[in-house]
Amino acid sequence: MIRLFVRQMLMLLTSLMILTFITFGITRFFPQESLNHISSTSSQSNLLNEYIFYLEQIFNGNWGISQAHGTEVLDEFLTFFPATIELSVAALLFALIVGVPLGIFAAQNKNTWQDKFIVSTTLVGYSMPIFWWGMLLVLLFSLSWGLTPVASRLGFEYDILPVTGFMLIDTLLSDQPYAFEAFYDALHHLILPAIVLGTVPLAIFTRITRSSMIRVLRSDYIRTAKAKGLSQMRIIWVHALRNAMLPILTIVGLQISVLITGTLITETIFSWPGVGKWLLEAVHRRDYVTLHAGLLAIASIVVIINMLVEVLSFYANPKLRHKR
């Protein structure tokens, strides 16, 4: 157990190390004046010294001042990040809640027309350019039918104090008389962006669940269970699902980076004040300090989450857990 932990920590450290190499390498290409805070000023410094200085600055939290707003980029990142988490989690939940049952249903009815329909639909979802998909949904749901708001996280008439940065929590914490109404409004604002962002993961989850479920249903222990006369429902939800979910866990980890890619676009379309929109605006402003900080922060978070998922899937998988 401890060995595993140490091993994972080492892997994580090397990954983060390589990551700082990459970001350090990238900063070499930035215009000099934009990165004064992380490049050492001594004249006779070599590459190694500069790298060490860079690391020091990063660890001291000295990530620089954004060119556009004149505030600490690290602070800015922290103000925008909760919005991105909220959106990503909502999208992930949407994808899981719809995708997994769909995949199970398809697996149960393997090779029927329903199954084929679901599989082809997943390909449709998988092929969807989400920048277009987002605009299409806004056009239909918001502009034509008026069912959902057009953009942003909350109607501007609600004055909600940002405490945690998570709108759903902040609205409930607020002592305004309309707090609950604002919560409902925030939920309303979350629907379309979450669907848009969740579409590609939904397609992937459905496919993975289906193939994983088919594999499990073929295995001996399920046949035994069937032979014992257990009901189909019981077999699937109690016996098969647990094992079928293992690959999904791994995929969820891999989907994090897909989700972040998606947030860049989704947040732009829905004017969602998260990290993605923040970074894109930084690109248009040629704000290298913000870009560097955003890349480093997001990449570290993705690497760390991937590691956590790996550990988690290790604990969830009895085969691996009992090996040692």
Kindly tell me which of 149 and 239 has the beta carbon lying closer to another protein. Answer: 149
Q: Which residue has the tokens 């697996």?
A: 107
Min CB(244)–another protein separation in Å:
16
Residue 158, amino acid: Y
- Of 200 and 235, CB closest to another protein: 200
Shortest Å, Cβ 43 to another protein: 25
Minimum gap (Å) between residue 84 Cβ and another protein: 11
Q: 48 or 161, CB closer to another protein?
A: 161
Query: What is the distance of C-alpha 102 from the center of its chain?
Result: 21
Closest CA to 245 of 257, 254, 236: 236
CA nearest to 310, candidates 9, 2, 89: 9
User: At what angle are helices 73-108 and 179-218 packed, to 10 degrees?
Assistant: 50
Nearer to another protein, 236 or 267 (CB): 267
Nearer to another protein, 226 or 285 (CB): 285
Shortest approach of another protein to residue 42 CB, angstroms?
A: 25
DSSP conformational letter for 1: -
**Residue 239 or 277 having the CB closest to another protein:** 277
**How far, in Å, CA of 106 to CA of 214, rounded?**
9
Nearer to another protein, 26 or 222 (CB): 26
Shortest separation between residue 288's beta carbon and another protein, angstroms: 7
Nearest approach, Cβ of residue 303 and another protein (Å): 6
CB neighbour list of residue 20: distance below 8 Å, 6 or more residues apart: 51, 54, 55, 58, 296
Minimum gap (Å) between residue 150 Cβ and another protein: 5
Q: Could you please report the per-residue DSSP string of 109-168?
A: TTTSHHHHHHHHHHHHHHT--HHHHHHHHIIIIIIIS--S-SSSSS-TT-----SSS-HH
In the chain, the amino acid numbered 30 is F
Which parts of the chain are beta strand (E)?
Answer: none
Q: Minimal CA–CA distance to 301: which of 96, 78, 66?
A: 78
